[in-house]
Each structure stands twice: as C-alpha cells, then as structure tokens.
C-alpha cells in the first residue's frame, strides 16, 4: 500500500505504522518484529512509533484492532482482587474474560485472531508468541510462588481452560456452555482456575 495518497498528518502516519506493523508481525512473528523495522517500513523514526504506541504490545493490539491491552486487563484484575479479598483471582479472571467477550467490539477481533491461528502457521506463531509474552508472563507472576518453576506451566493450563471456554461458547456454540449465564460460568470455572493458580498439580 502506498504511504502517500489521501492520508495526511498524524492519522496518515498512524495508519502507515499500523500497516507496516501488520506486515512485520505476519512475516516475522510477534517476537521477531521490531519497532525499528516497523518504523522503517512506515518511513518514520522509531521514536515516533514509541511516542504513538509506547510498547510493542500496545502496537500489536492497535494493529490487530484489539480494543484492550491484555496485560493491562490482567493487572487491573489483580488490583481489584487485592481490594476485595472475598473474590478469588480465578473467579475474577473468568468474570473479566466473559465481560470482555460479551462486548462484540472485543469478541470479533479476538475470535478472528483465534480463527486465523487455527488455519495459518504464521498466524499461529504470532498468536503463540503474543499469548506467551503478554498473557502468560503476567499470569505466571501471580501463580503459586512457593514453586516459581511451575509458573509457566500453571499459566498455560489457565490458557487451555480460558481459550477452551471461548472455543466452545463462541466458536462452536456448544449447548449449555453457550447459553449459560455469566455468573453460572464464573461459579463453575473460577475454582478450577484457582487450582491451576495455586493448587497441588502433582
């Protein structure tokens, strides 16, 4: 796509950066794409990319039209739990995921990303790397710290349940899990997430 044409000023520059980011993420994956290469592809200075988007995660979220920044949602959930100790972290994570997905604005891009990861090797690598860095790492940081070695495993078990929920509820529309109310799902699934976070897994 030409970087000239109708675009002008900030919005044209932002659009050129997002175009370049999508190309770089698709070609080199989440880990391999660099702010420097994305800036170069858009014909701008790397400092401008940092100025507009801050981190690579925020740039990825903007390029993929994710309306939320996963690690920020997780941090917010953690802060909320520490204020209300009667809510377990697992319960809160399920409630947050469902609240986000019930918004069409979030669900659409999220399911689009998941769908493309199912069918394209490149998209798979990109999503895998993104989930590992932006979601598993912050989750791992709050899991059972008596055994820090188990944190990445615990985080990936949580991903298996949370992504499995999205798969069966929204993509497959599987009977009762698709029609269940949010509170019912939070009560049913939350404690299983708590076990993955801090329970005995052996």
Among 58, 114, 141, 144, the residue binding its own copies under the rule CB under 8 A is 114
* Residues within window 63-92 making contact with its own copies, judged by CB under 8 A: none
Among 65, 132, 144, 198, the residue binding its own copies under the rule CB under 8 A is 132
How far is the C-alpha of 183 from the C-alpha of 74, rounded, in Å? 19
Query: Does 171 participate in binding its own copies (rule CB under 8 A)?
Result: yes
The span from the first CA to the last CA of the chain, in angstroms, equals: 53
**Cβ 138 to its own copies, closest distance in Å?**
14
Burial of 66 from C-beta contacts in 10 A (0-12 / 13-18 / 19+): buried
Query: Does 144 participate in binding its own copies (rule CB under 8 A)?
Result: no
Query: Does 152 participate in binding its own copies (rule CB under 8 A)?
Result: yes
Distances (CA, A) of 16 to 3, 21, 70, 138, 155: 6, 9, 24, 30, 35
Query: Does 157 participate in binding its own copies (rule CB under 8 A)?
Result: yes
Q: Which residues bind its own copies (CB under 8 A)?
A: 114-115, 117-119, 124, 127-128, 131-132, 136, 152-153, 155-157, 159-165, 167-169, 171-178, 180, 184, 187-189, 191-192, 195-196, 199, 201-202
């Amino acid at each position: 796509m030409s970087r000239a044409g109708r675009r002008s000023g900030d919005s044209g520059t932002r659009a050129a950066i997002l175009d370049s980011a999508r190309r770089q993420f698709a070609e080199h994956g989440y880990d391999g794409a660099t702010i420097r290469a994305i800036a170069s592809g858009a014909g701008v200075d790397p400092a401008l990319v940092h100025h507009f988007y801050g981190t690579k995660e925020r740039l990825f979220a903007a390029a993929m039209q994710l309306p939320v920044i996963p690690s920020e949602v997780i941090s917010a959930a953690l802060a909320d739990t520490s204020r209300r100790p009667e809510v377990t972290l697992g319960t809160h994570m399920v409630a947050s995921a469902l609240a986000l997905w019930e918004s069409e604005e979030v669900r659409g891009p999220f399911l689009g990303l998941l769908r493309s990861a199912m069918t394209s090797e490149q998209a798979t690598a990109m999503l895998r790397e993104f989930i590992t860095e932006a979601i598993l790492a912050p989750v791992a940081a709050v899991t059972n710290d008596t055994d820090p070695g188990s944190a990445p495993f615990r985080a990936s078990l949580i991903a298996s349940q949370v992504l499995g929920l999205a798969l069966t509820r929204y993509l497959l529309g599987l009977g009762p899990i698709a029609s269940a109310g949010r509170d019912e799902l939070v009560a049913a699934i939350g404690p299983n997430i708590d076990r993955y976070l801090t329970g005995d897994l052996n």
